[in-house]
Structure 1
Amino acid sequence: MGVHDFDVTTADGTSRRLADHAGRVLLIVNVASKCGLTPQYEGLEALHREFGARGLDVLGFPCNQFGGQEPGTDAEIQEFCSVTFDVTFPVFGKVDVNGPGAAPLFAHLRSEAPGDFGPANGFLYEHVKNSRPEAIGTDEVKWNFTKFLVGRDGGVLRRYEPTVTPEEIRADLDGLLLPA
């Protein structure tokens, strides 16, 4: 099973097959509007604009599981992304990424790329350790702006923890994308 086998819900409530992205590299991100990492929207949009023609699709999935940092409705989230960061990549309907109600896509992503969230993540690690100690040492998404890199075949290639910026991912994309 790969990422292309999943259906997701768009912000307007319709279903969309990720198979529509077959043959493209995906960067799947759980996003939030009221997080200290929210400015990463700018870097994600820059990747989308720079590498979209070379085969990259950035896909955002709002999540309110971390400190209530995505409290808005899907319509409010769409407006925020558009007005504040001029986001043109797809931002889907709000999802849970952990727990029994986790979106099947995120359960799959977590199992394929469990991550390595440790003290190197500095302040964020301390915050998670204090607020969600049960998450440390598990495959759970630890916070907003966790990113999953997916190959053209739908296989999960890598997980980037929240503190890894979109700019830091740029080097990993070059060998996966079509020539310029």
Structure 2
Amino acid sequence: MEIRDIPLMTIDGEAASLADHADEVVMVVNVASRCGLTPQYEKLEALQREYGDRGFTVIGFPCNQFAGQEPGDASDIKQFCSMTYGVSFPLMEKAKVNGRNRHPLYEELTKVPDARGKAGRVKWNFEKFVILPSGEVRRFRPTTEPDDPEIVATIERGLEGLRAA
């Protein structure tokens, strides 16, 4: 099964998949509302607003696996994201990103190595995976800010590829 065909569920309980964004650059991020990295939501939303109309989207996966930092239900998460950061990008249902019951999408994403050549477990909240329309995936660890020049260059390269196609 291709990564874009893996079934997903939105935070509102609707079926989805990355195939819904087949001709886009997608950033998949495991998010949490009570984490020291939570302010990254602001930069994620800024990327969404800057590049969204050009074929880019952030997709957030709330995750409670790291020190219980996403304890709320779907309603709590949506309200926090909307009221605190004005999040407009799609949120999926809570997902496990590590372990035996990890979401099938993360089963595939964690096979991708980061810039240092390390694949495997998600380290913490806000680990980012940029998926290009070609299927190439780039992995960025949690402390790499969403507006890091390397992430922005990856997004822009993917968007340039869309225009050239």
**RMSD in angstroms over aligned alpha carbons?**
1.7
Which consecutive aligned stretches of 4+ in structure 1 deviate over 6 angstroms post-superposition? none
Is 1:26–1:59's contact at 8 Å kept on the other side of the alignment? yes
Is 2:110–2:119's contact at 8 Å kept on the other side of the alignment? no
Alpha-carbon distance in structure 2 between the residues aligned to 1:157 and 1:138: 12
Matched AA of 1:177: L
1:6-56 Cα shifts (integer Å, max 9, x gaps)? 111111222112211111110000000000000000000000010011111
Alpha-carbon distance in structure 1 between the residues aligned to 2:127 and 2:109: 11
Q: What is the Cα deviation at residue 138 of structure 1?
A: 6.0
Q: TM-score, normalised by structure 2?
A: 0.90
Is 1:116–1:161's contact at 8 Å kept on the other side of the alignment? no
1:29-86 Cα shifts (integer Å, max 9, x gaps)? 0000000000000000000010011111110000000010000001100100000000
Choose the corresponding residue for 1:142, options 116, 123, 139.
Answer: 123
Gapped runs of 5+ residues in structure 1?
118-136
Q: TM-score, normalised by structure 1?
A: 0.83
Alpha-carbon distance in structure 2 between the residues aligned to 1:7 and 1:138: 23
Gapped runs of 5+ residues in structure 2?
none
Alpha-carbon distance in structure 1 between the residues aligned to 2:88 and 2:57: 11
Q: Which SS does the other structure have where 2:26 is aligned?
A: strand
2:142 maps to which residue?
162
2:132 maps to which residue?
151
| Sequence identity (%) | 49
Does structure 1 residue 114 correspond to structure 2 residue 96? no
